[in-house]
Homo-oligomer: A and B are copies of this chain.
Amino acid sequence: MIGKNYISLLRENILFKDLEEEKLAGFLTAFQEEIWPKNTCNITKTPTLFKFYIIAEGRVKIYRVDPESAREFTLFLLKKNDIFDVLCLLENCEHKVFYETLDEATLLSVPIKIMREWIVKYPQINKSLLPYMGKQIRILEEYTSNVVLSDISSRLAKLILTNINKKSKKLELINDLSNDELANLIGSTRAVVNRHLQQFKKDGILKISRKKVEITNLELLLKQAEKNHFSG
């Protein structure tokens, strides 16, 4: 059982938002609060085969690693109210990915068995899963599309653009990541990302300081996102 202050979290969660207030309180009794320190990896933690997680705070990356080259790339960058792992939830087989916290993260966990019972019992949850998965498919299609059709500088520009908060006009979610993590997000390597960041800086597109990116010329950034050596 965990604190009632998490009800407002569930109320905004894509899976639970359509359920009545009393039900939500009931659900909370099954959840457990877990604090994962920064850089906690799922290899050393209870695997997602047995627990289903909701992120209450912090960021978690879902990533793959090529065992030979040790190169890593990030499939999803999860934030508050994101959930994992849906694939393990649906099928009892392993999902060949790793999880790692980028910050100290607060997670709500529930035994995956119970979560499965809920899906059967509450059609709303089942129904809500569809648009969630649809969104993931769209993200992955876009990701693949970019990796195949766009060069690194274009992908880097797009990555930055999609993480600009429309209201504040500031870079969010990825603004404090190292060059290494940025590279993982676009399927490249640290050195190459840095090379392009330096070029962006020279071009007056952005300012960089340690683990910090600030856009100074949005228009040029947009152009950079479209520019592509594959095209004429």
Residues of A within 8 A of B (CB): 64, 66, 68-69, 71, 73, 75, 86-87, 90-91, 97, 123, 126-127, 129-131, 133-134, 136-138, 140-141, 143-145, 147-150, 187, 228, 230-232
Which of B73, B91, B138, B143 makes the CB contact (< 8 A) with A134?
B91
Take A123-B123, A149-B73 as given contacts and tell me if A232 and B68 are in contact as well, using a CB distance cutoff of 8 Å: yes
State the Cβ distance, A23 to closest chain B Cβ, in Å.
Answer: 19
Residues of chain B lying within 8 A (CB to CB) of residue A64:
141, 145, 149
Given contacts A73-B148, A141-B140, contact A66 B231 (CB under 8 A): yes
Taken together as a complex, chains A and B put the C-alpha atoms of A148 and B73 apart, in Å, by 8
| Residue of chain B at shortest CB distance from A227 | B68
Residues in B with CB closer than 8 Å to A150 are 66
Q: Shortest CB–CB separation between residue A97 and chain B, in angstroms?
A: 7
Q: Specify which chain B residues have a CB less than 8 angstroms from the CB of A134 in the assembled complex.
A: 86-87, 90-91, 133
B136 touches A137 (CB 8 A): yes
Residues of B within 8 A of A187 (CB): 144, 147-148
A87 to B135: give the CA distance in the assembly, Å.
9
